[in-house]
Each structure stands twice: as structure tokens, then as C-alpha cells.
A and B are shown apart, each in its own frame.
Chain A
Amino acid sequence: MSETRPADAAAGGPLLEARHLGFSHPGAAAPLFTDLSLRLAPGEMAGIIGPNGSGKTTLLRILGGLLAPDRGGVSLAGRPVRALRPRARARLLALVPQESQVLFNFSVIEVVLMGRSPHLGLLGLERPRDFAAARDALREMDLEGLEDRPLRGLSSGERQRALIARALAQEPRLILLDEPTAFLDLKHRLQIHEILARLNGRDGLTVVSVSHDLNLAALYFSRLVLLHRGGIAADGPPAEVLTAERVRQVYETEARIERDPETGAPFLLPRAPRRG
């Protein structure tokens, strides 16, 4: 896949690269990944898709350096991600996990300021520079005016935006998101994807997001990585990845693939399984 992106090599190599990953969950009968390699160039906006159990979340955690693979390795900006000090890693890479339960009554601004932690000393309090970064992140996520509200009092769309704002406050070069719109309605799904696309287009932030919504992923991501059976089944522009044949193989679902006449993005119309 890297051969199709010669421009990235000229720009100084990949930002994130996974080489020959092998991984099994403890006690699992079959390995989850056998030999998975993936390169992400700076400024990419990639979606990771795949059926349940294909390892999307696990791959994201390995890419983020939160989980060690059994074999192979991940390098971030040219260095092994597991060898980076956690705080140094957190200044380059932010991860928005799916579990988002914040215990106790932390306010929105307190939660977003947590993103500044990798930039602070051991005993340090946040400096004006950190408040500025947190306020920028709040503005970016359209959360102005909610600073002092408890995170628990927010709607699920606002809460998800606050957690993305925390990641932005880290001022990372790369942001990994695990199904950021899983529990949101259509309006809020679009809103979060719009913001991610803006950050990617305007600031060159590299975005990698796990998604279950194939149509939304096809609309917003310029690259889709389809996981299936221990490896990558397809990787490339949405129109190349989402074919009726592949959807049948990977998702075991009959579907018709159409094209949005305005954007040219493919979209998928699943057919109900025949009864009887």
C-alpha cells in the first residue's frame, strides 16, 4: 500500500508505522492478527472498518502504544512507540477511548485541562499557556460556555466532544479515535466528522478513527482500512475498498453499492436476507 503513496516518502517517511504485527488475546483459540502491517503518512485521514471481533479496537490500542503486540512493532515519528516515555508519546499522539466514564464531578474545563498533563512537570499546576490550549480546544469543539458544567451533566454528544477536546488539548500530531460517534444520532455524527475533517484539512492533523458506520466513513475518510480474519482485507480510497463483493465476503451481507451524485462517495444499501 505504501507504494501508492510516493509523496509521503518524500515528506520524510510515515508518521505511524506498524510492521508485521502478531497478537493473540490471552486464552484465545486463534490469533487476532497474524502479520499486519500499516503505514500512515502525516496528514492522512483514515478510517478503520471491519466486522465485530475483527480487532479494530485492539489495533487502535496497539497503534497508540497502550498494548504491546506479541510480534512486530509500531513506530511513531520514526521511534518505537513502546520505547517512548509515556508522557513523550502523549505529546505526539492522542487517543480517545470508547469507554468514557469519568468518575466524580469533574467539570468540562477540568477534563479538557487533563489533556495538558503530558506537558506539565511532576507537581506543576496549569500555566496560562495550558489554559489557552484548553480554551482553543473547547472553541474548536463548539463547547464554549460549558466550561464549568460537570461533565456528567452534558448530553452524550457534548460529552464526546469534550473528550475529543481533551485529546486536542494535548496538541498531538496524530489523533486516534475509537468509534467516537457510536452512541450519537445522525446530526451529532455529522457534526463530529465535520470537525475532524476541518482539523485534518486546516491543521494537517492526522486522524485515524474506528468506525462502524460505513457510509459515514466513506463520506469523510480519504482512506479506509478494512480488517478481516487476522489482517487487512483491503486498504485504499473508499470507492476501491467498499465493493459489493468485499462486503459479501467480509460482512457476510448482500449489498448494493451506489455513488453519491454530489460527492462521488460510495454508499452502501444492504439487502435484507431472503426469508424462507
Chain B
Amino acid sequence: MPPLTSRRIAVSIGLLLAALAAAIAVCSSLGSSGYTLLDLLPPGPASGGPGSAAGQGDAATAAAMILRVRLPRILLAAITGAALGAAGAVFQAILRNPLADPYILGVSGGAALGAFAVTALGLQALVPWLPLREAASFTGAVATVAFIFLLSRVGGRIASYPMLLIGVVTNTIYLSLILFIQTVVEATRLEGVRMWLVGNVPIEGYGLIGFLALLLLAGLLALATLGRDLNLLSAGEDAARSLGVSVETARGIGLLLASLLTAAVVSVTGPIGFVGLIVPHAARLVFGPDHRLLLPASALTGAIFLTLADTAARTVMAPTELPVGVITALCGGPFFLWLYRAQGGGRYFE
């Protein structure tokens, strides 16, 4: 890639924003009830006459369907995709490993285990008015990050490769614990969390969506200050240090922000795999590896990808809904394998 210019940043982000707006518009017009955004427009003079009363009723139903059912879900999918995409780009640069992402590191698994444990113990049923399941999954994700941090510290420094290994093993332990809970707890009790194993975008109120959007924006703005440090970290730890990066500080801040972003969204959606892994790679192919552009580009690409994936999840087998994690894995896995082969048989990943 030629070096980054402010023009390239502006054009790239402008195009991505336009694509996201288009994706949201199209996806809010897709659904089993058949309403489209056009049904929201006031009926023109041509459609007056005997049918106009029915037309009014239709517009009200369409508005309810689109604004209360589809749009909240689309916005939550976009926010989740953005958080996971940006977090994946940060994890990959800081851990210096193209395989790093919040799912593989066990951050998402910690969220799922938290939600499972609370539901299995019947705690959520005891206090239904508290968002206990969300709180437990947030705690699970944050506790996992803290745990991985502590275990991978060698002589006061975070060692990247051990961190990935420890994350993979932790994630496997979580999956076993979830299977264990599934085996010993009656199936009816776990009805509400079954979808959590693979990730699912629920319909939430605009209050929560607004809160998550603010959190995402704050996280992305804070991460924007790390763009150049992440470039230098990609060039190696000593190289970064000799080029003036306070490596420990930059790593700590980056991992913390990426983990908090992940925890915030997976506590609502459950662990959605492959978004954090493939979105940064896809964005890198198009926009180049410079993190000053790659971070916002990964966030927006993730938003577009998960919006489309979630719409596919609720429409391809309608009225049956698939968990969105199934779609992301079925798109993401083959893409990753293609990328691996296409980039010189894995040279890109060495």
C-alpha cells in the first residue's frame, strides 16, 4: 500500500459509512412479514380512495414492525460487529498473531459461561427484574481477560505468544464447563440460554442500544490514539520500543479497551465467532495494514458484516431463525481458509 494520507482515510471511511447506511436500509426492508421501508412513506394521492384506511393501518403495522422489531436488532448487530471487528484488529496487532481474536482468546467464552452459570443455578428466575445474566456474562468476560493477563505475565511483562496459548486452553475449559452444565441441568431450565452457545442478536430496547453505541464510540475514540503504536508493535517489540513506544502501557491500554468492548457486546449477544478474526483480515486486504485506518475500517466492516449476517440468520429459513453465529462461522471459516491459501500458502500468517 502507498502511505496513508488524510484523503485516503476520508474516502475510505466515507465509502464504508455509505455502505453501512445502505446495508441498514436494505436489511430493515427484509423480513418474513414482507414490509419494506417504502411502507413507511405517507401514501401518495394515487393510493387514495377506498383502500386508504387499510393503507393507514398498514403503515402503522409496518412502522411497528420496522422500528420496534427489525431496526433495534439491526442496530445491535451493527454495534456488536463494530466492537468485535475493532477488538480483533487490536488483539492481532498486540499479540502479534493473525489468529488472535476475542473468541479464540476465551473472552467470549467467559461471557457465555457466566450467562450459563447464572441461568443453570436458577438465579435469573429468582430476580427476573435484574439484568443478572448480562451482568454475569460481562463479569465472565472481564474475569477471563484478567486471568489470562495474570497467567501470561513473565517477569512483569506480558508475553504475547503464551497469552494466545493460555487463551485457547481457557476457552476449551469454558466449553467443557458449558457442556457439563448442559448435561447435569434439566434442558427446560436452559431454554433461554441455548442460543448463547453460538451467539444470537436479540431485540433490545433503544436505551440499551444507545448505551452500547456510546460505549463503542468512546472505545473507538480511545483506540484511535493507539493507531501508530499498533503499527510499530506489528514490527516487533524491540523495534516498537526503540521507536519510542511505551510498549507495556500501549499493550495494557489496547488489551483493556478491546476486552471491555468485547465484554460489553457479548454480554448481550453471546459469543459470536469469526467476526473478530476475519473482519480485520478482510479490511487489511482492502484498506492496508496501517492501524490508523485499519481500526475504524475494521469497526465499520464488522458492522456491515454482522448486519448482513444477522439479516441472513433471520430470513434464509424464515420463520425459523438461525443463531447468527452459525452464519458468521459458515462465512468466516471458508474465508479464512481461502485467505490462508491465497496469501502464498500461509506466508502472511508466519
Contacts and interface: CB of A to CB of B under 8 A. Distances in A.
A126 B3 contact: yes
17 contacts: A90-B242, A90-B244, A93-B242, A95-B238, A97-B238, A97-B239, A97-B242, A101-B350, A103-B93, A103-B96, A109-B3, A110-B1, A110-B290, A114-B235, A117-B243, A125-B4, A125-B9
B246 interface: yes
B44 interface: no
A236 interface: no
B235 A106 contact: yes
B247 to A, nearest CB: 9
Interface residues on B, range: 35 or more
Contacts of A126: 3-4
Contact of B238 (A61, A113, A131): A61
A97 B232 contact: no
Given A95-B238, A125-B6, A120 B228 contact: yes
Given A101-B236, A102-B234, A118-B243, A110 B225 contact: no
Interface string A1-27: 000000000000000000000000010
A102 B243 contact: no
Interface in B285-309: 288-290, 292
B98 A103 contact: yes
Contact of A107 (B1, B246, B284, B350): B1
Contacts of B236: 97, 99-102
B2 interface: yes
Interface in B217-262: 224-225, 227-228, 231-232, 234-236, 238-239, 241-246
Interface string B322-335: 00000000000000
Contacts of B228: 117, 120
Contacts of A125: 4-6, 9, 292
Contacts of B245: 86, 117
Given A64-B242, A85-B244, A103-B98, 4 more contacts: A99-B238, A101-B236, A106-B231, A125-B5
Contacts of B238: 61, 66, 95, 97, 99
Could you say which of B1, B239, B241, B284 has the most chain A C-beta atoms within 10 Å of its C-beta?
Answer: B239
Interface string A108-132: 0111011101101011011000010
Interface of B: 1-6, 9, 92-93, 96, 98, 155, 224-225, 227-228, 231-232, 234-236, 238-239, 241-246, 284, 288-290, 292, 347-348, 350
A93 B242 CA distance: 8
B3 A103 contact: no
Nearest to B1: A107
Interface residues of A, number: 43
Contacts of B288: 105, 110
Interface of A: 26, 61, 64, 66, 85-91, 93-95, 97, 99-107, 109-111, 113-115, 117-118, 120, 122-123, 125-126, 131, 147-148, 152, 163, 170
B199 to A, nearest CB: 27
A31 B23 CA distance: 63
Contacts of B96: 103
A68 to B, nearest CB: 11
B231 A123 contact: no
A92 B324 CA distance: 52
Contact of A115 (B98, B155, B243, B347): B243
A85 B239 CA distance: 16
Given A66-B238, A109-B2, A104 B289 contact: yes
Contacts of B9: 125
Contacts of A148: 1-2
Contact of B243 (A61, A90, A100, A103): A90
B5 A170 contact: no
Nearest to A86: B244
Contacts of B225: 122-123
Contacts of B92: 103
A102 B96 CA distance: 9
A105 B289 contact: yes
Contacts of A115: 243
